[in-house]
A and B are shown apart, each in its own frame.
Chain A
Amino acid sequence: MKSRQASLPYALEAIDLSVVLGGRPVLEVPSLRIPDKEVLVIIGPNGSGKTTLLLSLALLLKPTSGEVFYNGQPANTTSAIFSFRRRFAVVFQEPLLLNTTAWDNVTLGLRLHGIRKEEIKSRARKWLERFGIASLAKRQVKTLSGGEAKRTSLARAFVLQPDVLFLDEPFNGLDSPTRQALTEDFENVLRETKVTTVMVTHDINEALALAHRVVVLLNGHIRQVGSPEEVFSTPADEEIASFVDAGNIMYGSVVLQSGGLASINIGKQQIEAISELEVGTEVTVLLRHHDITISLPSSEAFTSSARNRLPGRISKVLPIGAQMRVTIDCGFPLVALVTRHSWVDMGLSTGQQVVATFKASSIQVIPRLGKFS
C-alpha cells in the first residue's frame, strides 16, 4: 500500500481493473494513470468498453475486481466513493436533464452538495453565461433544442468546479453547425479551467484538438497509449490503424496569412492551406491519403490548380488490396494511396524521386491545445 501512496500526484489511477458483465469480460485494464490537469481521450469502436472504463473511473460502476484511486486514495468504501463522486462531474451523450427548468438543472448538483444559496446563484449565473444560455434559465428543458440542452448539461457539470471531468461522447447526435459552435465553446472552457478530463469520443478531430494523451481501447483492452500524434500517425498495429487511420498528421505553425490562405511551416517544408488562423498559431495538419497525387518529376510541366507540390523520395511501399500504400519522404513522411495499375504504368519503385501534389482545400488545419507539461 505504501508504494501506491507514493504514486501521487496522479489525479486518477486504476489498477488491475476488470469488469465482467453477464459472465463476459468487457474490460481488462492492468494499469491506467491520469496525471493532474491531463486531458485523456479514450477512443475505440462500439462495444470496446469505452463507456465501461469511463463509468468505472467515475466511480459510477463497481468493477468486478481492481481498484480506482483518486489523488492516491483508494475508492474502496461507500463513503469514499460518495465523497470522491462529489469531486467529479459527468456529461453523457444524452443531456439527461430533469423535467424542470434549465436553472433548476444547472443548480441541482450544487444544491445536493449543500452549497450556500448566494454562491449557487453566482456560480450558476456565471456558467449559464459562459455557455451562452443565460437567457434560457427560466425555460422548461422540454422546450430547449438539442444544442441548448447540451449546453445546459455542460453548464451543470462545470458549475460544480470538478477536479475531474468525465465526458461520454458529449457531442454525438448534434447537427454539424450546432456541434461546431458547441465544440469551440467547450474547447475554450477546457483551456481556461485546465480541469483533469477523461473523454470518450469517436471523433479524431476532437481528439487531436483536445487530447494530451489518447488511449485506444479494443475489446476491453488498452492497445495503445500515446500522444494523439503518435497514435494517429503511427498506430501500433493493423487493427488499430483500421480504426484510427486519419491520414497524414503533421505539426507546424502558421507563418503567413493572406485572406484565408495560410502558409504553414512543417519542418523545412512549407505548405499552403485554407485556414483563417493567425500567424504564429501552432497547428495540427490533416491530409487524407487519397487526396495526394503522385507524379514523376519529368511531368512537372503539367499545370495544375493544386497549390502544394512537394518533391520527395519513395521510402516504403505496402500493397493493400488493389492499392499501394506509398510513403514518400519529403523531409517528413507523407503517405499516399496509388492503384496498382498506376504504380506499374508509371514504373514507380522504392527510392525513386517523385512529386506529391495536393490542394490547399484538401488540408484540414486544427489549432493545438497548449502543450501538456
Chain B
Amino acid sequence: MDMIFQGITQAFWLLVHGDPQVLRIAWLSLLVSGAATLLSLCIGIPVGSVLGLNRFPGRRFLISLTNTGMGLPPVVVGLVVSIFLWRNGPLGILHMLYTPSAMVLAQFIISFPIVVGFTMAATQQLDPKLRLQILSLGASRVQMVWLLLREARLPLLAAVMAGFGAVISEVGASMMVGGNINGLTRVMTTAIVGENSKGDFPLAIALSVILLALVYLVNLILTIVQQQSKST
C-alpha cells in the first residue's frame, strides 16, 4: 500500500517538473504513432473509398481481410515484422530492426486496416444516388470522390481517431521491433512494461497517466464526432 502511494507521489512530481526522460518518451510515442497513423490515412483512405464506393470481383474477399485486419493482435504483427527485418530476413538489408522506423512500419500495419474499415463504412453510409447527383453537376471522377469524402468528413475523423488510438496504446509490436532501447526506441507503453518489471513504479505510473490522458482525449473526440454525425 505504501509503495503504491509513494509511486503516485513521485509520478506526480515527475509530471509537474516536466522530467526530461518522461517528456522524451512521450514525445517519441507521439511521433511514432502519429507517423504510422498519417501513413495509414494516406494509403487507407483511398483504399477504403475504392472498397466502399465500387463493385468489383474480389471485393468481398478484401472486405473480409480488412475486417480481420482490424483485430490484428499487435504481438503477431511484431513477430512477423521482426522476422522480415532480421539481418538474414528478406528485408534485413535495410538494417531497420530496433529503430523507430521499424516501429512506424509495425504500427502502420496495425492501423492501416482500421483506417480502411472506417473509411469504407463512412463512404458506404452515403446515399448511392449522391454520386450520380455529383456527376450530373459536371464533376470529374476525382472531383466526385473528393466531394464524397468531404461529405463523409465526420465519420472519416473517426477513422483518424480509431487508427491513432489503436497504435498509441499498443505494446506488443513496439516491444518486439523496437526493443525498448532507452533514448532510441523507448515509447510510453514499452517503458511502462519495462519499468514495471524492474520495480521502478513512479516512472511507469507517470507514463501511464499521460497515456491514459491521451487515450481519453482521443476517445472523447471520437465520441463527440460520432454523436454529431448521428444527429445529422
Contact = CB atoms under 8 A, between A and B. Distances in A.
Contact of B151 (A92, A99, A156, A166): A99
Among B130, B135, B232, chain A packs the most CB atoms within 10 A around the CB of: B135
Interface string B129-153: 1101101111110010001001100
A125 interface: no
B130 to A, nearest CB: 5
A278 interface: no
Among B127, B135, B138, B143, chain A packs the most CB atoms within 10 A around the CB of: B138
A85 B135 CA distance: 8
A99 B138 contact: no
Given A82-B140, A156-B137, A92 B147 contact: no
Contacts of A94: 127, 129
A112 B133 contact: no
B129 A96 contact: yes
A96 B133 contact: yes
B75 to A, nearest CB: 41
Nearest to B133: A96
Contacts of A262: none
Contact of A58 (B127, B136, B138, B143): B136
B137 A96 contact: no
Contact of B132 (A90, A98, A108, A112): A90
B221 to A, nearest CB: 19
A358 interface: no
Nearest to A114: B138
B133 A90 contact: yes
Contacts of B151: 98-99
Chain A interface helix/strand/loop/mixed: mixed
A16 to B, nearest CB: 23
Given A98-B147, A98-B151, A99-B232, A85 B136 contact: yes
Interface residues of B, number: 16
A168 B133 CA distance: 12
A86 B132 contact: no
A112 B133 CA distance: 13
A88 interface: yes
A117 interface: no
A96 B130 contact: yes
A133 interface: no
Interface string A83-114: 00110111010101011000000001100110
Contacts of A166: 136
A98 to B, nearest CB: 6
A112 B137 contact: yes
Interface in A138-169: 142, 156, 160, 166
A112 B129 contact: no
Given A90-B132, A98-B151, A113 B127 contact: no
Contacts of A90: 132-133, 136
A92 B140 CA distance: 19
A109 B138 contact: yes
Given A60-B132, A92-B133, A96-B133, A112 B127 contact: no
Nearest to B131: A60
A55 B232 CA distance: 28
B131 to A, nearest CB: 9
B162 to A, nearest CB: 21
Contacts of B143: 112
Contacts of A112: 137-139, 143
B133 A86 contact: no
A166 B132 CA distance: 12
Contact of B127 (A60, A86, A96, A142): A96
Given A96-B127, A96-B130, A60 B135 contact: yes
Contacts of A60: 132, 135-136
A249 B232 CA distance: 45
A92 B132 CA distance: 9
Given A98-B147, A142-B232, A92 B137 contact: no
A92 B137 CA distance: 12
Interface string A14-52: 000000000000000000000000000000000000000
Contacts of B136: 58, 60, 85, 88-90, 166
Contact of A109 (B129, B137, B140): B137
Interface string A102-138: 0000001100110000000000000000000000000
A88 B138 CA distance: 9
A108 B137 contact: yes
Given A82-B140, A90-B133, A98-B130, 8 more contacts: A88-B136, A94-B127, A96-B127, A98-B147, A108-B137, A109-B137, A109-B138, A160-B138
Q: Which 4 A-B pairs have the closest CB atoms?
A: A109-B137, A90-B136, A96-B133, A86-B138
26 contacts: A55-B132, A58-B136, A60-B136, A82-B140, A85-B135, A85-B136, A88-B136, A89-B136, A89-B137, A90-B132, A90-B133, A92-B132, A94-B127, A96-B127, A96-B129, A98-B130, A98-B147, A98-B151, A99-B232, A108-B137, A109-B137, A112-B137, A112-B138, A113-B138, A160-B138, A166-B136
